[in-house]
A and B are shown apart, each in its own frame.
Chain A
Amino acid sequence: MQEFLQQVVSGIATGGIFASLALALVLIYNAMGLVNFAQGEMAMFATFVAYALVTRGMSYWIALPITLVVAFAGGLLIQRVVIRPVERAPILTLVIITLGLAALVNGLAGFIFGYVPRSFPSPFPSDTVDLLGVFVSYRDLGVIGVSGLVLLGIYLLLQRTTVGLTLRAAAHHPEASRLLGVQVSWMLALGWGLASAVGAVSGIMVAPILLLEPNMMQSIIIYAFAAAVLGGIESPLGAVVGGLVVGVTINLAGAYLPFVGGDLQLAVGLAIIIAVLIIRPNGLFGRAAVRRV
């Protein structure tokens, strides 16, 4: 039982990482009805920026906000340069462009930082603490704490500030927002910047667990897809719940299903995606899609 609980807690920690990336996907989906296939690569690139700062002697807690600002600016820039000219293009075009973006960012990271896997420092000590009879590592607690803070921050921003209100308005009713004086295009750019920053958090949190290299996020993005789809792709709350469920599920499956083990955890992610899409395409929190004919 105790081991089971420990698996659940460490599942929640990985789930928090997936939730951040899934939330980034949801932010962009809500802004323009698009799944950003480059989200993981953008997060990976931001993590490299954090790595470069930390290895140059900067404190982790100063490097983190700087990286988030850089990631925000990067997301904004990408939206302005690459996405904006094709905003109204068919969805097929947009998906192919984000895939191109993923390949490009991946290659650039390899070009600038190389393909040698590096260990990324964790600001949390690696010992464990006894929490009501369950041994939890400080790292897991730290990851849960940081992810929770980020998710709370995004929630407050979207629900309690004027910027958040404008952002949601621009996403849901672009025409009406434009009539009311909202600069819809810039709101989309803001959405991309926010998503990029939130995704960067997931990259920085996962880097100490995996090793930092350009293909680091390739499996994480699959789990994030699974989380976003499970949560109903347009619901921020759904992304968080989905992330936690996916994190716990793959952890338990890896620990208790001998067939799955460590190397087929990714296949569990795929199975979740396919099962949700077939059984309940709108996920847990999504609305049924209404199509106008």
Chain B
Amino acid sequence: MLQRIRTAPPRYWLVAIVVIFFVGFPTVISSFQTSLWTQALVLAIAIMGLNILVGYSGQLSLGHGAFMALGAYTSAILAHHYKLDYLITIPIAALLTGVVGFLFGIPALRLSALYLALATFALAVVTPSLIKRPDALTGGVQGILVIQPDPPQFAQDTFATVTGTVMSSDQWIYYVALFCALLLFWVAWNLVRHRPGRAMRAIRDGEVAAAASGVNIAGYKTMAFGISAFYAGTAGSLFGLATGFVSPDTFPVSLSIQLLVGAVVGGLASIPGPLLGAIFAYFLPIESNQWVPSQAWIPVQIASTVKNAGPAVSYGVVLIAIMMFAPNGIVGLVNSGYAALNRRLRGAGDRETGQMPPDAQTV
């Protein structure tokens, strides 16, 4: 055991530090801040789903907000009309959304990347009006209130023993979201390292070559859609839990854009990317909305416009700038920076010993 810990690669330590950070975080921040971070984690799950679809399998979906809506409404309707425990409805919503995503993936097989983007974009735009229609079921424009559950006894006891304070409902929901996020990130990490991940990347980089090598194109592409929708459904369900209500306006087309921004900024086809991207995409509008009105030199009228227009402008600029200058996002920047640093350090060592550096490309 000690031997294994000593020889663990550095990135495992990084993962451990991040996990410990996220576990301990809600004990030191306010209840309100906790619920914000819950939503950021939820967004990270949805972005991870999008990342599997766009980054690994190369199919562009602009309609993941619609899948989130499906997950959220499944949970809310089950909890509200059928009095199920909300936590039980999360896997149900995730599975249902996953199946729908899988079915959606079948016609998507026939579409080129461009047509798929177009169809999913149209889906995202239409979603709010589709939700409003069956108002007996979905509550129409008002939406459905979600009752946020109190923490169960075992969680309260554990929390009290460790921190000595009483666990709030916000903190409980945070830990539920964190548990789901950890589980789903771990699943994604395993998925992309093994056969399905290799197959999806092969399809993305050269469909014909992949087919010639015996990869089941249709199978993996629809599977990617299904898994991706499963993630989005989980995220949607948790989103309803975190915000306390679901309504058609919770899922506008800009939500799908926000997911795409997160995936692109963090770095497509990477595992830490969605987390970083979610934190960026979620907190950028919130922080800028707090910062701008607090500046005395900005007139009030302009400040209120910035509040409305700010997210769209900054998302737009960020999307364009990242795609132009750093297509691999934050993770890509960090990786290339690390590689450059490594090269430089190695190079310095070589001049002293006169030896060729070992190949750094071994994975």
List residues of chain A with CB under 8 Å of any chain B CB: 33-35, 37, 82, 85-86, 89, 91-93, 95-97, 99-108, 110-111, 114-115, 218-219, 222, 225-226, 229, 263-264, 266-267, 269-270, 273-274, 277-278, 281, 289, 293
Contacts and interface: CB of A to CB of B under 8 A. Distances in A.
B319 A97 contact: yes
B118 interface: yes
B40 interface: no
Interface in B116-159: 117-119, 121-123, 125-126, 129-130, 132-133
Nearest to B60: A92
A89 B328 CA distance: 13
Contacts of A103: 254, 257, 312-313, 315-316, 319
Given A99-B257, A110-B305, A219-B125, A104 B118 contact: no
A105 B312 CA distance: 8
Q: Is the interface of B mostly helix, strand, loop or mixed?
A: helix
B122 A222 contact: yes
A101 B123 CA distance: 20
A105 B315 CA distance: 11
Contact of B117 (A35, A226, A263, A289): A35
A107 B123 contact: no
Contacts of A106: 312, 316
Interface stretch (B107-115, B164-172, B332-340): B107-115
B38 to A, nearest CB: 25
B112 A289 contact: yes
Nearest to B311: A107
Interface string B297-309: 0000000011011
Interface string B275-300: 00000000000000000000000000
B318 interface: yes
B305 A222 contact: no
B327 interface: yes
Contact of A99 (B110, B113, B260, B305): B260
Contact of A263 (B107, B132, B315): B132
Which of B60, B132, B323 counts the most chain A CB atoms within 10 A? B323
Nearest to A86: B324
Kindly list the 6 A-B residue pairs having the minimum CB-CB distance in the complex, ordered from nearest.
A104-B316, A100-B319, A107-B312, A107-B313, A103-B316, A110-B309
Interface string B249-269: 000011001001000100000
Contact-residue size bin, chain B (C-beta under 8 Å from the other chain): 35 or more
A225 B125 CA distance: 12
B137 to A, nearest CB: 15
Contact of B110 (A264, A270, A277): A277
Contacts of A229: 115, 118
A222 B115 contact: no
Given A100-B318, A111-B309, A266-B129, 7 more contacts: A99-B257, A107-B313, A115-B309, A266-B125, A267-B126, A273-B122, A274-B122
Contacts of A34: 114
A293 B119 contact: no
Nearest to A108: B313
Nearest to B113: A91
Contacts, number: 135
Contacts of B119: 270, 273-274, 277
Contacts of B62: 99
Contact of B107 (A218, A277, A289, A293): A277
Given A106-B312, A115-B308, A225-B122, A100 B114 contact: no
Given A225-B118, A267-B126, A270-B122, A108 B309 contact: yes
A99 B258 CA distance: 11
B162 interface: no
B308 A110 contact: yes
B320 A269 contact: no
B133 A218 contact: no
B129 A263 contact: yes
A66 B257 CA distance: 33
A208 B18 CA distance: 54
A77 B264 CA distance: 25
B54 interface: yes
A277 to B, nearest CB: 6
A89 B323 CA distance: 9
Contacts of A107: 309-316
Contacts of A35: 114, 117-118
B316 A100 contact: yes
A33 B117 CA distance: 14
Interface string B218-246: 00000000000000000000000000000
B320 A222 contact: no
Contact of A91 (B114, B260, B309): B114
A105 B118 contact: no
B125 A92 contact: no
B133 A96 contact: no
Given A222-B126, A266-B125, A281-B111, A100 B317 contact: yes
B117 A274 contact: no
B17 interface: no
A100 B323 contact: yes
A86 B122 contact: no
B208 interface: yes
A262 B123 CA distance: 18
A61 to B, nearest CB: 31
A274 B118 CA distance: 10
Contacts of B118: 35, 225, 229, 273
Contacts of B324: 82, 85-86, 97
B26 interface: no
A27 B110 CA distance: 24
B121 A37 contact: yes
